[in-house]
């Protein structure tokens, strides 16, 4: 054979072998990656080829599916009372993807999760019937929170302190996910994106704000655990006003007539005395306050419920004056409503924090469990004695102090108000906070809540935790105790 022809034949053979190897690599090793690529239209077609599984609240689906017309996507997502549950479900959109529970459990809900397939399905590639996601949400508590927030911009969370089950999660203003679930919903999507109130943001989980005086519970816990004060009824060493260290400014109280000078922790919580908690934070030092905050969940690398919450932050590297301001929940301290509810939940549960979660179970189409989220995964935050003392002081806040709008007849209710500064030199409308726990005195239900009202439209002088947030919390707690 001619030497040139032989070389050409070998070269062509090598090219054919290279093509075969590449084709085999694509078919065997890259097939899954290509199939899962978000730009692969076949993936979206498969996702919506059958009715989706459901997100369940109290045994009833709050989602559904609707047959489409004139589209290669056979079904689209629908929602029952979509605005009521949007902070729980998120959205599943043919055009804009999926968020929150819809996104986290998308493969279960569309039937592509490998756990749903039997051996034959795995061989043939047949799509399995979809599974469901069962939540811990109580519809009555959810509705109470949503209706009480009304037109306010804000958020609310309710937790069962004993189990960590999230009973309600509401963010307002809300939106109906059904309006953006199809491929032709561009106008509705643009309207949501252009809305300056950002209704698609879950404020309960992903909007950390200055917690104001609700953070004083953390400082009080640190003071008792460290032994700075022996009890909530021991008088403190707290001048009124408190001169901020290294500064020419004083830390003053909202009410000049409040008995805050050298007040006990109980009285300081009752009247929300800034001087007591600012000085306590300085006396403890920022490291001890931070350590206590982190026990409650601040500065966590991640907090998944299973939707990931934004981190609540207690800062570092502060000077003494900044440390004092951090002691009243200002400076650069931020917290989500979920985090503040966790503080009250831990105190209500004897000092143990049960891991918060809003999904109880994930099942296949036959109701068999794919994953079970057990209750009762707890960690010790403060001693039982410290928790008991702080609960007692929180009851004083509700019975005789700044939280009277949270009272519930026949129940033990303890709480803490907060009015957090907003903007440079408090130039914008303050945030109104309230956190509380309630226990049925007959030995029944328990609940812990947190509410923040970012903007209610009320005059600045009318913004307070007791005036705006406590009534919302009271309605939520009443609904929870009636379970």
Say if residue 187's pLDDT is above 60: yes
User: Domain residue spans in the chain?
Assistant: 42-109, 206-481
| Residues 190, 197: Cα–Cα separation, whole Å | 13
What are the C-alpha distances in Å from 34 to residues 47, 103, 415? 15, 20, 53
- Which residue in the list 65, 213, 312, 456 is annotated as catalytic? 213
Least reliable range by pLDDT among 11-25, 35-49, 101-115, 141-155: 35-49
Instruction: Please choose, from the candidates 416, 388, 372, 160, the residue with its C-alpha nearest in 3D space to the C-alpha of residue 272.
Output: 416
Q: Is 326 a catalytic residue?
A: no
Least reliable range by pLDDT among 73-87, 110-124, 247-261, 463-477: 110-124
Q: What is the mean pLDDT of the chain?
A: 91
pLDDT interval class at 27 (50, 70, 90): low
pLDDT (0 to 100) of residue 21: 74
pLDDT (0 to 100) of residue 180: 97
Greater pLDDT, 231 or 377: 231
pLDDT (0 to 100) of residue 41: 65
What are the C-alpha distances in Å from 404 to residues 142, 287, 473? 23, 34, 12
Here the tokens at position 72 are 């290669």
| Residues 483, 475: Cα–Cα separation, whole Å | 13
Superfamily of domain 42-109, CATH level 4: Penicillin-binding protein 2a (Domain 2) (3.90.1310.10)
206-481 fold: Beta-lactamase (3.40.710)
Instruction: Please choose, from the candidates 75, 77, 76, 102, the residue with its C-alpha nearest in 3D space to the C-alpha of residue 87.
Output: 102
| pTM for the structure as a whole | 0.90
User: Who's near 89: CB < 8 A, 6+ residues apart?
Assistant: 55, 62, 63, 79, 82, 100, 101, 102, 177
Positive or negative, the Cα torsion across 389, 393, 394, 398? positive
Tell me the percentage of the chain whose pLDDT exceeds 90.
77
Tell me the percentage of the chain whose pLDDT exceeds 70.
92
pLDDT interval class at 5 (50, 70, 90): confident
Instruction: Please choose, from the candidates 318, 17, 359, 13, the residue with its C-alpha nearest in 3D space to the C-alpha of residue 163.
Output: 359
């Amino acid at each position: 054979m001619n030497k040139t022809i032989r070389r050409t034949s070998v070269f062509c053979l090598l090219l054919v072998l290279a093509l075969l190897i590449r084709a085999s690599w694509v078919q065997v090793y890259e097939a899954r990656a290509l199939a899962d690529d978000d730009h692969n239209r076949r993936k979206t077609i498969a996702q919506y080829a059958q009715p989706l599984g459901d997100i369940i609240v109290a045994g009833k689906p709050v989602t559904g599916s609707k047959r489409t017309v004139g589209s290669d996507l056979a079904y689209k997502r629908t929602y029952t009372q979509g605005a009521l549950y949007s902070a729980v479900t998120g959205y599943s959109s043919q055009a804009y993807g999926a968020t929150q529970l819809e996104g986290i459990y998308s493969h279960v809900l569309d039937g592509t999760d490998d756990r749903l397939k039997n051996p034959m399905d795995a061989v043939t590639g047949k799509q399995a019937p979809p599974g469901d996601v069962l939540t811990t949400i109580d519809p009555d508590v959810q509705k109470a929170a949503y209706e009480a927030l009304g037109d306010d911009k804000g958020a609310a969370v309710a937790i069962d302190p004993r189990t960590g089950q999230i009973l309600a999660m509401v963010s307002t203003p809300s939106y109906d996910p059904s309006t953006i679930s199809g491929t032709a919903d561009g106008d509705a999507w643009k309207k949501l994106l252009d809305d300056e109130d950002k209704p698609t943001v879950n404020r309960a989980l992903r909007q950390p704000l200055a917690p104001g005086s609700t953070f004083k519970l953390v400082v009080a816990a640190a003071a008792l655990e460290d032994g700075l004060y022996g009890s909530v009824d021991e008088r403190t060493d707290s001048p009124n006003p408190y001169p901020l260290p290294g500064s020419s400014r004083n830390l003053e109280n909202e009410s000049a007539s409040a008995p805050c000078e050298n007040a006990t922790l109980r009285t300081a919580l009752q009247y929300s005395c800034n001087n007591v908690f600012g000085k306590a934070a300085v006396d403890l030092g920022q490291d001890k306050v931070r350590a206590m905050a982190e026990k409650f969940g601040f500065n966590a690398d991640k907090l998944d419920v299973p939707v990931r919450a934004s981190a609540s932050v207690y800062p570092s590297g502060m000077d003494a004056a900044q440390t004092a301001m951090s002691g009243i929940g200002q400076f650069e301290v931020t917290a989500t409503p979920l985090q503040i509810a966790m503080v009250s939940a831990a105190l209500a549960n004897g000092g143990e924090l049960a891991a918060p979660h809003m999904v109880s179970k994930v099942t296949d189409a036959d109701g068999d469990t794919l994953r079970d989220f057990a209750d009762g995964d707890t960690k010790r935050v403060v001693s039982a004695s410290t928790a008991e003392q702080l609960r007692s002081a929180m009851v004083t806040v509700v019975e005789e102090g700044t939280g009277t709008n949270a009272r519930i007849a026949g129940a033990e209710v303890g709480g803490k108000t907060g009015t957090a500064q907003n903007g440079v030199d408090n130039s914008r409308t303050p945030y109104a906070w309230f956190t509380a726990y309630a226990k049925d005195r007959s030995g029944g239900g328990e609940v812990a809540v947190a509410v923040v009202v970012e903007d209610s439209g009320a005059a600045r002088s009318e913004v307070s935790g007791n005036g705006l947030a406590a009534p919302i919390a009271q309605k939520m707690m009443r609904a929870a105790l009636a379970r």
